[in-house]
Chain A
Amino acid sequence: GAVVSQHPSWVICKSGTSVKIECRSLDFQATTMFWYRQFPKQSLMLMATSNEGSKATYEQGVEKDKFLINHASLTLSTLTVTSAHPEDSSFYICSARDQGHNQETQYFGPGTRLLVL
């Protein structure tokens, strides 16, 4: 149980294009999902907290107009990197909180590797 998927697993795009990453909780409902980015050899950096049916809460320094988050259902959250630039290249990981079981924990997706040329 508690499986989270992400799609795509990797993406290469040209500078200036937008990229959408999907995060799905496959076997549980997640009112709260989280988006992280991780640079090589560094720990996870929380970008935003996504609540179903409401606006995401962004961490300080994260541009909400650049990283658009939509959490339209209890099993799906999307992160759109708008007008991507090479400095946005990173490993993006989502997680979901299972409100019905061990709700203090987070279950992570496999990550999406983004390379902006």
Chain B
Amino acid sequence: QKEVEQDPGPLSVPEGAIVSLNCTYSNSAFQYFMWYRQYSRKGPELLMYTYSSGNKEDGRFTAQVDKSSKYISLFIRDSQPSDSATYLCAITTGAGSYQLTFGKGTKLSVIP
């Protein structure tokens, strides 16, 4: 079992839809959870950073962490064509070298 599992998609939704992106992980030592957005031929951009279980909201984005289920989600409300990108979940134990373990990324297309 891989440490972080993420459905690569592709995922195609109409503009205005609510998007749900998910990752599962196996190592209970993971404590810090991030979502990155990567446009084609660009470096990843940090969208959300969370530590504890629960929800964190920032504009149209909501990150959700359920440590008991080892399950994290990113919700995008009122999706826009500009949200079309690959979304990567990234997790770390927060110790040692602080290396991130990435999901494979989900490619999202928002159709006008």
Tally of chain A residues near chain B (CB < 8 A): 26
Pair A108/B45 contact, Cβ less than 8 Å: yes
Could you say which residues of chain A place their CB within 8 Å of the CB of B36? 108
Could you say which residues of chain B place their CB within 8 Å of the CB of A111? 41-43
- Report A49 CB to chain B, min CB distance, Å: 5
Residues on A lying within 8 angstroms of B by beta carbon are 2, 4, 6, 32, 34, 42-44, 46, 49, 57, 91, 93, 95, 97, 102-111, 113
14 A-B pairs whose Cβ atoms sit less than 8 Å apart in the complex: A6-B43, A42-B104, A43-B103, A57-B97, A95-B43, A102-B49, A104-B49, A104-B94, A104-B98, A105-B46, A106-B46, A106-B100, A108-B36, A108-B44
Could you say which residues of chain A place their CB within 8 Å of the CB of B100? 46, 106
CB of B34 within 8 Å of the partner chain: yes
The docked-state distance in angstroms from the alpha carbon of A47 to that of B97 is 13
B43: contacting residue among A49, A97, A102, A110, CB under 8 A: A110
CB of B102 within 8 Å of the partner chain: yes
Could you say which residues of chain A place their CB within 8 Å of the CB of B98? 32, 97, 103-104, 106
Given contacts A46-B99, A49-B99, A104-B32, whether A109 and B92 have CB atoms under 8 Å apart is: no
Pair B99/A105 contact, Cβ less than 8 Å: no
Could you say which residues of chain B place their CB within 8 Å of the CB of A103? 98
